[in-house]
Amino acid sequence: MSANFGLLSLAATAGFQKLPGAKRRLPLIVLPTRGVIVRTGTITITPMSVFGSPVLNLSGFCTAQLTFWHRYDLENGADFGQVWIYDGAGFTQLAAFTGVNTTWRQVTINLSPFTGQASVWVVFQLFSNGSVTRDGWYIDDVRVTSSRPCLQTPAPLGIFRPSVEARWFLDTNHNGVSDLSVRYGTNGDIPVPGDYNGSEGLMDLAVFRPSVGRWFIDLNRDGRTDLNRQYGTRGDIPVPGDYTGDGITDVAVFRPSIGRWAIDWDRDGATDRAINYGTKW
């Protein structure tokens, strides 16, 4: 999910233009400390120091974040730039700024506590006592994003039985009874199930073959290999996981001989991240 919202929608409907010198490529909103003006074009808004997003639907997502670029020149301790979220029942303050910061900086705010709700609004508010005129609050490139939908189907309970034709027994509804039996792998393989294609948390069958350091992945549980990747060597321990937070299981190994983690997050067989963590075995 990616939404360029609120201030951008206001700018689009009011015919605003991008202010020269704006940090990012999206429209810029300026909140001066006396008589609030939007300086993205020739339009002057009535003195109202609040700008908000249209309704945001965060249902179906388990993570979300708000990002924006800003700079400000406010009377320290008297004028405040505030960010709020409104859920229809009340306001929750997300951040507040005062004083002087004349360098463009990006702010990231976690909205995950508000996911699952169908109607929320993000609000930017400038509070000023009006006693001193300062340059105000510049806000640019506002986005709400999420790359991880909530799991639509819980992962099944699974047993990998290498001694019985390397067969998987899956209990998809958690009632203690096997609903699906699939032969996948060989004796000696290590089971490494996960969501390797980002299919909303659906578990894929996968095995790591330590004798050759190769990963075999069945994306649709039909017993056939859809992905076959070389990553690791004899003696490595497979440690798959979502190391980038994108909802997709990454291929990774721990090499006990040197105490090193190696992660291949695009499954091209090359290490994208190596971390020394642990001791030699």
- Give the DSSP per-residue string, 103-115: EEEEEEEE-GGGT
Confidence of residue 17 (pLDDT cuts 50, 70, 90): very low
Q: What CATH code would you report for 157-276? A: 2.40.128
Looking at domain 2-145, its CATH architecture is: Sandwich (2.60)
The single residue listed with the structure tokens 């004083």 is: 99
Domain range annotation of the chain: 2-145, 157-276
Full-model pTM: 0.50
CA angle 233, 239, 245 (to 5 degrees): 130
Task: Concatenate the DSSP letters of all residues of 199-247 into one string.
Answer: STTPPBEEEEETTTTEEEEESSSSSS-SEEEE---TT-EE--B-SSSSS
For residue range 66-99, what is the model confidence (pLDDT) as tens digits? Answer: 988 888 888 899 888 889 998 888 889 999 999 9
Average pLDDT rounded to a whole number, residues 7-33 = 32
Among residues of the chain, what percentage have pLDDT more than 70?
78
